[in-house]
A = this chain, B = another copy of it.
Amino acid sequence: MAKVFDAAEVAKHNTPDSCWVILYGKVYNVTDFLSEHPGGSKIILKLAGKDATEEYDPIHPPGILEENLKPEAMLGTVNPDTLPKVQAEPVPSSSDETEGPPPMESLLNMDDIEQVATKNVSKKAWAYYYSASDDKISKHFNTEVYRSILLRPRVFIDCTQCDLDTTLLGHKLGMPIYVSPAAMARLGHPAGEAGIAEACRSFGAMQVISNNASMTPEQIVKDAAPDQVFGWQIYVQIDRKKSEAMLARINKLKQIKFIVLTLDAPVPGKREDDERGNAIGASAPVPSAAKTADSAEDETSRINQSSGGVGKQLFAGTDPSLTWKETLPWLAERTNLPIILKGLQTHEDAYIASLHTPQVKGIILSNHGGRALDTAPPAVHTLMEIRKYCPEVFDRLEVWVDGGIRRGTDVVKALCLGAKAVGIGRPALWGLGAGGVDGVKRTLQILADESKTCMRLLGVETVDKLGPQHINTRLLEQQVYNGPSGLESIRSVFRAKL
C-alpha cells in the first residue's frame, strides 16, 4: 500500500536537488526528470513541493506521466486534508504601479521600453527625444512604411544555424544594427553615451558618437573592447577652427573608425514638442529657426520669438552652407578616416555620393528621424528609388539606413532592400532612459532576437543572403517617386569621373 504524505513534508522537496510534486493526489519525485523536461526545468521548479495538478492537467494528454517517469518515482499519495485551500489565481495586474522601474526582462518590445522611459526621464528629456518636426508625419511614416512591406517565408529550410554577423567598412560586427548618433544621452540617464558603448560592447554592435554628445569622445570610448567599432558624427561649425580642433582630437582615437558627416539638417526642423517641453518662457525667448540664418523683419521680432527647445540650442553655430565642392575636400584633408554621408533622401544625391569614392565609403539614408523636414521620405523610399534609378550605387558604397525601426522584422526588411546596416536612435535612448546600460542591452537583445527569429522563419541563415525575393513591396512601389530623375544632368556634370 502506498505511503501517505502530509503536504508539509512534500513542501520541503522544492529544490533542484530534491524535487517532488503532487499530481492527481499522488506524490512524485521528479528530481531526475528535471533535465529531461521538454519545457525546461524552471517550470517544474516553480511548482516544486506543491500540488501541480491544476497547472499540469490541461496541457498534458494522459499517459505522458507514465511514459516519462520510472515506476519508483511515484512515492505515494498525499493526505488531502493537509493540502492548502485552493486560492484564486493570482493574476499579475498589468497596470501594476509599483515603485521603481520594472525588471528589464519584463519589457518585450520597443513600445514597452519607450513607455517605461517616458515615465522615468525628465519632461525635458522626453520632449527632446520624442519630438519630431511639425505634425510628425515623417516620424510616424518611418515606422508605418515597414508595416506595409510583407514578408515571404520559405519552408523546409534548415535554420538551426542563424546569426546576425556582418562586416561594415571591413570591420567584423555582431549584428547589422548600430546606434545612431543621437545627442544628449545623459539627459536620459547618467550613464550617457558611455553606457550605450558598454551595451554595444556586449553585442559587438557599432556606435556612432554624436557631435552633440553629452560626454567627450574620449570618455565614451574609454572602456571599449579592443575590436569595438565607433564612428564620429560631425556637424560642421561656422567657425571651422572648432571643427578642425575636434577632428584633430578624433583622429587620435583608435576606436573611431569613420566620420559621419550629417547633411539632412543644415537648419533645425521645427520640433514643437521640444519647444513646448523646453520653453524658456515668454520673458526670455530665443530666436526661432528661420532667424538663425536670417534676421530681418525687426518690426515683428516680438511675435517671431518662439520659445525654442534643446534641439534648436544644439544647432547654434552649425554651418548651413556646406557643398559637395567645398566641404568634402576640406574634410578629407583633415582626416584619413573613411567618410560616411548621412541624411541622403533622393536617388540623385545617393548617386552623386557614389561618384565621390574612395573618400566617401558609405551613405546613410535618413530623414533625421523625422526631426528635420516633415513629409520627407523614409529611408525605405530612398532605398527603393536607388534600386529603381541607379542600383549601381549599392556596388560602389555601403548603404545604411535609419529611422522608424521598432521590430526585428523592420531590420530584416531594410536588409532585404539592400541596406548593409540599420541604425537606431530613439530606441537606444529610450533603452537608456528605461534602465541605463541594462536598458540599452535589453533594446539590442530584443531587436537581435526578433531579427534572428524573422530570418529563421524566412529560412535564411545569414544576413548577406537576404534579398528582395524575401519581401513583397507591392504597396510601397505605389508610393515611391517616379517623376523625372536628375541623373542625366548629374552625369553630364561628372562625366570626367564616370
Contact = CB atoms under 8 A, between A and B. Distances in A.
Given A263-B156, A346-B152, A481-B152, A57 B186 contact: yes
A484 B468 contact: yes
A449 interface: yes
Copies in the complex: 4
A94 B469 CA distance: 49
Interface string A367-400: 1000011111100010000000000000000000
B478 A474 contact: yes
A280 B293 CA distance: 53
A162 to B, nearest CB: 7
Interface string A345-364: 11011001000000000000
A295 interface: no
Interface string A315-347: 011001111100110000000000001011110
A458 to B, nearest CB: 7
Nearest to A112: B272
Contacts of A202: 297, 299-300
Contact of A105 (B302, B324, B409): B302
A117 to B, nearest CB: 15
Interface in A169-207: 184, 186-187, 202-203
Interface stretch (A17-25, A58-66, A78-86, A421-429): A58-66
A409 B138 CA distance: 12
A375 B457 contact: no
B484 A474 contact: no
Interface string A53-81: 00001111111000000000000000000
Contacts of A268: 453
Nearest to A183: B59
Contact of A449 (B92, B135, B203, B304): B304
B441 A300 contact: yes
A182 to B, nearest CB: 13
B483 A279 contact: no
A313 B40 contact: yes
A195 to B, nearest CB: 13
A43 interface: yes
Interface in A78-106: 89, 91-92, 94, 103-106
B151 A373 contact: yes
A290 interface: yes
Nearest to A220: B61
A235 to B, nearest CB: 11
A492 interface: no
A444 B265 CA distance: 24
A27 to B, nearest CB: 22
Interface in A283-324: 284-291, 293-294, 297, 299-300, 302-307, 310, 313-314, 316-317, 320-324
Given A92-B279, A155-B343, A449-B288, A39 B316 contact: yes
A76 B147 CA distance: 58
A45 interface: yes
